[in-house]
Amino acid sequence: MLCVVPDGCTFEQTNKVNVKEEADPRSFHIMASSSSVLCEDQLHCSICLDVFTDPVTTPCGHNFCMICLKEFWDSSSHCQCPVCKTNFAKRPELCVNMFISALDAPFKKAVQVKSSSTVENPTRSLVPCDVCCEKKYAAVKSCLICMTSYCKIHLERHERVSSLKKHKLMDPVENLEDYTCQKHERPLEWFCRDDQMCVCKFCIEIEHSTHNTVRIEEESGVKKTKLGKTQTEVQHMTQERLTKIEEIKHSKNTEKEKADMVEIFSSLMRCIERSQAELLKVMKEKQKAAEMQAEEFVKELEQEITELKRRNTELEQLSHTEDHFHLLQIYPSLCSPPHTQDWTGIKIKSYLSEETLRRALSQLQETLSEQLQKVEEAELKRIQQYAVHVTLDPDTAHSKLILSDDRKQVKHGHKRQNVPDNPERFNHCVCVLGKEGFFSGRFYYEVQVRGKTAWDLGVARESINRKGEITASHENGYWCVCLRNETEYQAWDSPPVSLSMKQTPKKVGVFVDYEEGLISFYDVDAKSHIYSFTGQNFTEKLYPYFCPCLNDGGKNSAPLVIC
C-alpha cells in the first residue's frame, strides 16, 4: 500500500507499486478512502491551498507548487522555506517531484469530476476565482477572513477543514476590501445606527462603544422590510401609470369609437328610411286600389244619375200631360223611383289608415330596440376592459357579516363576531367596503347577486358616516342601486328612482368614470343598462360598496360574490 507521509519525512514504499503518470481516479479514491485525512492534506500546496500544480520539494522536505514557490521567493528579500522558515544561502534548483505529481493528477481529476455538476467551463463572471491559475472559474463564495474568492473546487477546504469552517463566507464579490474595515482590517459585521455606517468588532469597542449597534444581518432585515413597503408602493405607482397608459391609449381610440357610433346611427337612419319607404309603398298600393274602387263607384253613380235624370224628365212631362188615360196606364211604373244602390254605408278607405301607421311604427320600434341592444352590448364590452381586482376590507365589515377566506364573498350571519370597533367599521348597517380605493381614472367590477331577495351595490366615498343609521343618497356619499322584496329595484338618487327590469339580474356590473362623474350599473347577462348617475363631482377616494342585507330567516342567505 502507498501512503504519503507529512512534509519533512521520507516516502517509503513497503510494497512495490508501479505508479503511472496518469493513474485511475477510482484507484486513487480507493487508496484515499483507506488512508488518513493527513495523507490527503499533503496533496495541497500550503501557499495557494490548492491541489499541487507541478509539485516541487525544498531541501528541508516541504512541498509546494513550483509557480507558488517562485513567486514567494521573488517577492522576498531572502530565500527561505515558507513553512519552517529555513534560510537557503542560494536559491535551490527546483525540479518537479514526479512521485507526488503522479499522486496529485488523479486526485485533481477526482475533485473536478465531483464538482462537474456545478462547474463546467471557465465563466465570464465578473467575480473570478482568485486561486485558479490558468482557467479562471466562477467564484461561488468570498471569504472575508482570507479576503479571497473561491470557485467550487477551491472552496472545498473551507467546507472540510474545521478551522476554515469558522470563516465568514458570503456571495462572491469583486471588491472584497470594501467589506473590510480599513482601519482594523476586520470584517464589517456590525452596523452603527447612530452614524448609519458599517463597522467591525474593534470599532464598536472603541469609537462606537456608546452607540446603538446591531449585527449587520439584523439591520439588513429591517432595511429589507422597509424596502418591501417601498416596493409595494412602487408596484402600486407602476400599476397606476399602466392604467393611465391604457386610458391614454383609449383616448387615442376615440376616432374609432366615434366611427362606431356614426355607423350605429347611420344604421338607424337607414332603418328609418327603409321603414318609411316600405310604408310609402304600402300607402301607394292602397291608394291605387282605392282610386280604382272610386272610379268604379263614380261610374255606377253616374249611370244611376243618368237613369234618375231620365225618370225625372218623364215625370216632368207627365205632370203637364192632358192625356189622362195614358197617365193612368203608365202610373204604376212611374209612381216609385227607379231601383238604385244604397250608397249610405259605402265609403272609400283612407290609404293612410291608423292601423297601417301603427304597424309600421311598431316594426320600427322593434328594430330600434334591436339596435339599442347592440349599442348597450358594445358599451358593456368597452367598459369591461377597465375591470379591476376588488376584494372586501374586513376592517370595515359589520360584525355580523361573514367574509370568505379569499375576501370575495360576503353574507349576513346570525351572531356578532368578536372584532374591534375601529372607526372604519360599520356598526349598524350590515355593510362592507372594498379594500381597494380609487382616486382617478375608470374602473369596473362585477358582483353575482343570484338567489338573493335583497341587496345594495355601488360605490361610496371615503368620508362616509359608518356609525348608526345611514341615509343612503349621493348627497351623503353613496351611489347605489338596490333590491327589496325580491322584485322591487331602486336607484338611490334624489328623489329615489324606481327601476323597471326586463328580467331578474343574476350578475350586476358597476362602472365608474371618476373624471367624468359617472357611475353606471349593468345587467351583465342581459348585456343591458340598468341606471346611471351622471354629472357627479368626486373629490376624494371612492370604494366599492356592498350590502348583502339581512338573512331574512334563510330567504336571503345567498352571498354577494365578487366575480
What pLDDT, on a 0 to 100 scale, did the predictor assign at position 111? 56
Name residues whose C-beta falls within 8 Å of residue 403's C-beta, 6 or more positions apart in sequence: 392, 394, 397, 409, 410, 432
Between CA 287 and CA 302 the distance in angstroms is 22
What pLDDT, on a 0 to 100 scale, did the predictor assign at position 36? 39
Q: Per-residue pLDDT tens for 312-347?
A: 888 888 888 888 888 888 888 777 788 888 888 777
Between CA 63 and CA 56 the distance in angstroms is 6
What pLDDT, on a 0 to 100 scale, did the predictor assign at position 350? 60
What pLDDT, on a 0 to 100 scale, did the predictor assign at position 401? 94
Question: Running along the chain, 563 residues long, what does each successive block of 10 average in pLDDT?
Answer: 36 34 39 43 75 86 87 83 86 84 69 49 64 83 87 87 85 83 85 91 88 90 88 85 75 68 80 82 82 87 88 84 82 80 76 70 79 79 89 94 94 90 91 92 94 95 89 88 93 90 92 94 91 93 95 92 93
What pLDDT, on a 0 to 100 scale, did the predictor assign at position 156? 87
What pLDDT, on a 0 to 100 scale, did the predictor assign at position 352? 57
- Contact by Cβ (8 Å): 212, 194: yes
What pLDDT, on a 0 to 100 scale, did the predictor assign at position 530? 93
- Contact by Cβ (8 Å): 60, 84: yes
What pLDDT, on a 0 to 100 scale, did the predictor assign at position 17? 34
What pLDDT, on a 0 to 100 scale, did the predictor assign at position 35? 39
Strand pairing category for 507-513 and 497-499: unpaired
CA separation (Å) from 165 to 79, 145, 158, 270, 470?
32, 11, 5, 88, 69
Between CA 453 and CA 555 the distance in angstroms is 7
What pLDDT, on a 0 to 100 scale, did the predictor assign at position 100? 80
What pLDDT, on a 0 to 100 scale, did the predictor assign at position 2? 33
Q: Which three cell numbers stand for residue 104?
A: 496529485
- Is pTM beyond 0.75 here? no
Between CA 452 and CA 559 the distance in angstroms is 8
Q: Per-residue pLDDT tens for 360-382?
A: 788 878 877 777 777 778 788 88
Sheet holding 190-192, edge to edge: 197-199, 190-192, 213-215
Residue 496's SS3 state is coil
